Structure 1
Amino acid sequence: MRKLWYALAKMLAEKAAWEFAKENNMDLVTVLPSFVVGPSLPRHLCFTASHVLGLLKGEAERFSWYGRMGYVHIDDVARCHILVYETGNARGRYLCSSTVLDNHELAALLAKIYPFFPIPARFEAHYGKQHYEFNTSKLQDMGFKFKGIEEMFDDCIQSLYAQGHLP
């Protein structure tokens, strides 16, 4: 349930930003990242990094609520912000997401790449069958190329090892 409140808060904050920009005759450009994965700077793990760590340790319950998700490398989020800032004709909303996968597709991929982790094979389908993609063509038309899912998780796992979260 916490995930739903988080998503709602993000939507309401963006809506308020657009209303403020319109009322004050301001240009506004937003970058909307999906589930951010990659290295973590602080030693204390954020919400998403702690859920990835749980997945790698075989804890299926928390991750089972994600269903189908978009994933993006944290470096790509930063580079997208810089790109739209430096592009004078950037306008509107920019969806920032590399890959969209069902949680069982992600688990199967991660289990294949990292067989030494007890990654769950299946998850309970809380939302039924879902299918959606994110249209990132505005960024891609600007020449942006996203990092792949393997690089996201390689960097995340290296960071978890370096910070002592994984043995």
Structure 2
Amino acid sequence: MQRHTIAILVNDQPGVLTRVATLFGQRGFNIDSITVGGSEEPGLSRMIITTGGDEQKIDQLMKQLYKLIDVITVTNLSENAFVSRELALIKVSASPSQLAELNAIVEPFRATIVDVGPNSLIVQVTGDTEKIDALLVLLETYGIIEVTRTGSMAMARSVVPVPASV
């Protein structure tokens, strides 16, 4: 099953998120992640939803999304090149004496330690899903207490025109 990232531009109205999530459930799609926030246009929000499914079922889902009230546009970002990132906060069981050791682990991931307590610390990391998953594997040996992730945020890459050959 292929993973898809779908961007949905909607009117910023109560109940829109519920209607979209319900449609996914009714069509048998699991939402792997969902991120919703304001867009470049006041009064509109953008939802980024990751899910799995074959092309034909995703196309049908997108047609059904367009039928919902308050849905403006639906784009399957997975059809072209796109940039995807998420943010994670990871609370790890550790003492202050392990700070340098843990810093050496998180530094190659361009992650930072944002809080240090007597028995734990919190790591902040941004990147694609695979990068965050890889860091989690390395931190498991210390004992992960809690993880919170934003879900994927995504945007289509800019298309650079190819000069015509003469």
The structure where helix makes up a greater share of residues is: 1
The structure where strand makes up a greater share of residues is: 2
TM-score of the two chains, using structure 2 as the length reference: 0.24
Q: Relative contact order (alpha carbons < 8 A, sep ≥ 6): 1 or 2 greater?
A: 1
Q: Which has the larger radius of gyration?
A: 2
